[in-house]
Amino acid sequence: MNKLQLILMVVQLLVALFTLLGMAYAFKKFLSKPKDSMTERIIVLEAEMKDVKAALNQGNDRFRKQNDTNEVILHSIMALIDFEMQYCLTEKVTMSDDLKYAKEDLQRFLSKRGERI
């Protein structure tokens, strides 16, 4: 074997070795790609889930405030009905049946909700 053939054989061996290493690296990247894209999607979905939870909590807070407001309004209406009924009794004015029914309905509604009347 002459020197040129030896150099040529070493170069061919190096080319084959680097080709195999390149193929192994490409195969590794091919296998890890689904895992990487899945991780990215999970991160995006977790961020969106955090935003949705924040929006739901904000909505729940609004509902709580609305329920508190409704409770105050209902109790105020009950107080006004009681006042009107007491006024009618003290002034000896006949009360309308609608007023009595309204009071009964409101009492029934509040008792079903478990609130104090």
pLDDT in tens, 35-77: 767 888 889 999 999 999 999 988 888 888 898 888 889 888 8
Query: 19-22 — which CB contacts under 8 Å span 24+ positions?
Result: none
The reply to whether 1 falls in a domain is no
- Distance in angstroms between the alpha carbons of the first and the last residue of the chain: 110
Q: What is the pLDDT of residue 1?
A: 66
What amino acid is encoded at 72 in this protein? Answer: V
Q: What is the pLDDT of residue 67?
A: 86
pLDDT tier at 115, thresholds 50, 70, 90: low
7-45 tens-digit pLDDT: 889 999 999 999 999 999 988 888 777 776 788 888 999
The reply to whether 27 falls in a domain is no
Number of domains in the chain: 1
User: Which two three-digit tokens encode residue 72?
Assistant: 């105050």
What amino acid is encoded at 117 in this protein? Answer: I
The pTM (predicted TM-score) of the whole model is 0.49
How far, in Å, CA of 23 to CA of 99, rounded? 89
The reply to whether 3 falls in a domain is no
Q: What is the pLDDT of residue 45?
A: 93
The reply to whether 7 falls in a domain is no
The reply to whether 21 falls in a domain is no
The reply to whether 50 falls in a domain is yes
pLDDT of 82 > 90? The answer is no
The reply to whether 23 falls in a domain is no
Range of the domain at 87: 34-112
Q: What is the pLDDT of residue 117?
A: 53
